[in-house]
Amino acid sequence: MTAAARWVGKEVVRKDAYEKARGLTKYASDMFPENLLWVATHRSKYPHARIKRIDVSKALKMPGVVAVFTHRDVPNNRYGVFVKDRPVLCDDRVRYIGDPIALVAAETKEDAESAVEEIEVDYEPLPVVTDPIEAMKDSSYPIHDGGNVSRRTRITFGDVSKGFSQSKAVVENEYRTSTQIHAFLETEAGISYIDEKGRITVVAGGQSPYRDQHEIVSTLNLPPEKVRVIIPQVGGAFGGKDDISVQIHLALVTWKTGRPARLVWDREESFLSGTKRHPSIVKMKTGASADGRLMANDVEIIYDTGAYVALGHAVLDVAIENCNGPYKIPNIDIKAWLVYTNNMVASAFRGFGAPQVIFAMEQQVDQLAKELGMDPVEFRLLNALRRGDVMVFGNRLETSVGIAKCLEAAKNTPLWSRQADFKAVKTYPWIKRGVGVAAAVKGYTIGALPDRGTISVELLLDGGIAVKGSFTEIGQGVVQSVSQIAAELFSVDIDKVEIVFADTDKTPDTSVTSASRQLFLAGNALKEAAKNMIKHVAQFIEKTYNIKVDNLRFENGYVVGRDFKISFSELANAMARSGVEREVSGTYEVPRVQPIPGSLEIPHLFYMFGVSLALVEVNTLTGAVSVPKLVSIADVGKVINPQTLTGQLEGAAAQGIGYALLEDPKIENGILKTTNLSTYLIPSIKDIPEIEVIPVEDAEESGPFGAKGIGEIGIISVAPAIANAIYDAVGVRPKSTPMTPEKIYWLLKNKC
């Protein structure tokens, strides 16, 4: 089938491209239902304080105010996927600057914003816990009952002391990475209303309509059939919309007032109250034998989850799983902590815990290669996991492992093979050039946790098909990829494929759009749905026309059997006349793996791999680092749409450059100082170089047409590749992100 593919692997222009380019697409923040109430949020002024009194009486008397809501209006005021530690509206305590305390619903935006200022809260400030290492001590002030260590675990395989005794080179370092803010173009935004069936309907940016619905009904104590969640086109998510933001608040307002509502966070609110990438402290001692084989990795991982756990427990698992890189290492000892502080809230962000530890490990690997006098790519190739190998956790890799192919591709790239030429380019005497490499691994799907997804397909009367699933379009292009897979499986023109997505009323549960899983899950479920459709159609034809059907297949808009051919539209109309269901579904369930002791979801059954190569220019008189060229290599199994794939990898590389060099949130005693885009700098177009994307297709037999995940792998190895390139250029190693001009400058200054 792949050989004659008509749609899969083809550069088909995204269906949403024209309407997005013309500004016609309606995002949640573009929606203004009639008679709406504007909602504004009163937020904590302290990073940590007891609430002694909340007085909303003045706010209620303000012009245009219809209602003010506090925790008293929320039946079950705690939510959270792993730990229910987060209040919908704060009651006894605030735990970070920006924690929501009250909502004002008013007739105009200005009325709502003015009234929010009139809410009075009496606080008793509590000690502010900001340093995760301090937070881990028994003496630190507990942010939650049970203390500030939310999760601790230790995972060992083999014997690291034996591994170090067999090592010729041992390097030991501490690395730190900072918070990263998603900074999506569209902030957290949504509207709500009562739909025609009387349901509270929330239309908001998100990554999982069914989970958002669950959090609404469980906190507001409503029957699930009374709440509907729709996720329209989303203006960026990157994991930052994996958690609840505006959804419960909107549902609360519409539930209590019966009126439509609109809540859109401004940029400052998004920066304060949106979730972020976990800042980390990673200590690593890594050893390699004289012949260049990794022997032992002794690791301590501390992730700062901030005020609430959110998805932190799973993020910590991914950190543990990825801290050894894509390598065979016989002896590992990993200790990990997830710690509460008053530093806002960390949760999912593209890479989900992997970029922090890979930043450490890939610099360790470079240092070992240097000590042993080996080429960094050859050293990685020697240690690279291959299919059939036993991974560090004792799990045998029975699925696609493309890291060696990625490293081979890196080796043959001019930036690596002719790096001397790139470095010899002269500009000014104070500019030094260097080239660096780093590799990455990350599981896709949600590992040893249960993971399934359902897709349904309806035959339309006009001969087209409607494909329905709860996957969300967060800009990544899943709607396009699913369209192409559907067009291929059902052998119809892509214009005949209609996609209905992310609506708990209209689409089956394909589960979360995260963990680089949706193309894989939706694609596989769609394959099942196509098989089921064949069976369903065969039955209908046998029954209706009284003929025996075998070898039924889809062909250019027709259903074709041995002795007959019937068009989709004819078939659909016949089914409609007979009152036969035209919609069937298919479900794919990821085969279950037993989690290893001490983990929730380690190991995964499926992994993606990647390599980044970076050329940097370091200005030794300013410390500024620029990246004139970056090569992003990713093992994607099979490319479904080359253009969308390039978009994913270029976007990930740009976000990785921001993480590596620019994004520097200044948090002083729990208070964010960089609350806008003029002080928290994300890359501008001038900071983004020529990015060369090299897809490596190591087919995954379990995937749709051999495809694997792609969303996250591109970001993970960017920061360590840049760090290694900086070392190559000027001989200093920052060991922390972001690698800002001032940081590099003082390292250079102190070196000489």
Sites of contact with other proteins (CB under 8 A): 109-110, 113-114, 266, 268, 428-430, 621-622, 624, 626, 661-662, 664, 666, 673-674, 678-679, 681, 683-687, 740-742, 745-746, 749
HSE toward the beta carbon, residue 342, CA cutoff 13 A: 29
Count of CB atoms situated within 10 Å of the CB of 564: 13
For 75-97, what is the HEC assignment? CCCCECCCCCCECCCCCCEECCC
**Looking at beta carbons only, is 577 or 686 nearer to other proteins?**
686
Minimum distance of other proteins from residue 670's CB (angstroms)? 16
Q: Enumerate residues 6+ apart whose C-beta is below 8 A from 677.
A: 183, 267
Tokens, residue 130: 């900001």
Q: Is the CB of 111 or the CB of 528 nearer to other proteins?
A: 111
Q: Give me the least distance between CB of 262 and other proteins, in Å please.
A: 16
Amino acid occupying residue 26: K
Residue 106 or 519 with smaller CB distance to other proteins: 106
Strand partners, 635: 609, 696
Answer whether the bond into residue 429 is a cis peptide, omega within 30°: no
Nearer to other proteins, 683 or 720 (CB): 683
Residues 474/477/480/482 CA torsion (nearest 10 deg) = -80
Q: Which is nearer to other proteins, 120 or 742 (CB)?
A: 742
**Cα separation, 349 vs 370, whole angstroms:** 32
Sign of CA dihedral 548, 553, 559, 560: negative
Q: How far is the CB of 32 from other proteins (least distance, A)?
A: 16
**How far apart (Å, rounded) are the C-alpha atoms in residues 609 and 407?**
10
Nearer to other proteins, 390 or 621 (CB): 621
Supply the angle between the helices 312-322 and 354-371 in degrees, to the nearest 10.
20
State in angstroms the smallest separation of the CB of 272 from other proteins.
12
As measured in angstroms, the least distance from the Cβ of 268 to other proteins is 7
Nearest-approach distance from CB 730 to other proteins, in angstroms: 15
Q: Beta-carbon neighbour count of residue 79 at 10 Å?
A: 21
Whether 538 contacts 716, CB under 8 Å: no
Strands 37-43 and 261-264: parallel
Q: Which is nearer to other proteins, 286 or 343 (CB)?
A: 343
Shortest Cβ 731–other proteins spacing (Å): 19
Q: Considering beta carbons, is residue 467 or 726 the nearer one to other proteins?
A: 726
- Please, what is the minimum distance in Å from the beta carbon of residue 687 to other proteins? 5
Q: Least distance from C-beta 429 to other proteins, angstroms? A: 8
- Which residue, 116 or 438, is less far from other proteins as judged by CB? 116
Dist CA 251 CA 460 (whole Å): 34
Say which residue the tokens 């046998």 belong to.
542
From 37, 191, 31, 188, select the one nearest 111 (Cα to Cα): 37
What is the C-alpha separation between 31 and 19, in angstroms, rounded?
16
Q: Which is nearer to other proteins, 107 or 687 (CB)?
A: 687
C-beta of 668: minimal distance to other proteins in Å? 10
Characterize 250-288 residue by residue with b for buried, 16 or more Cβ atoms within 10 angstroms of its Cβ, and e for exposed.
bbbbbbbeebbbbbbbeeebbbbbbbbbbbbbbebbbbb
Distance between CA atoms of residues 726 and 706, nearest Å? 37
Q: How far is the CB of 751 from other proteins (least distance, A)?
A: 15
Instruction: Name which of 548 and 666 has its Cβ closer to other proteins.
Output: 666
Nearer to other proteins, 560 or 624 (CB): 624
Q: Supply the minimum distance, in Å, between the C-beta of residue 622 and other proteins.
A: 6
**Residue 131: which residues within 8 A CB-CB, separation 6 or more?**
341
Distance, CA of 567 to CA of 426 (rounded, Å): 66
Q: Which is nearer to other proteins, 428 or 546 (CB)?
A: 428
In the complex, least distance from residue 662 CB atom to other proteins, rounded to whole angstroms: 6
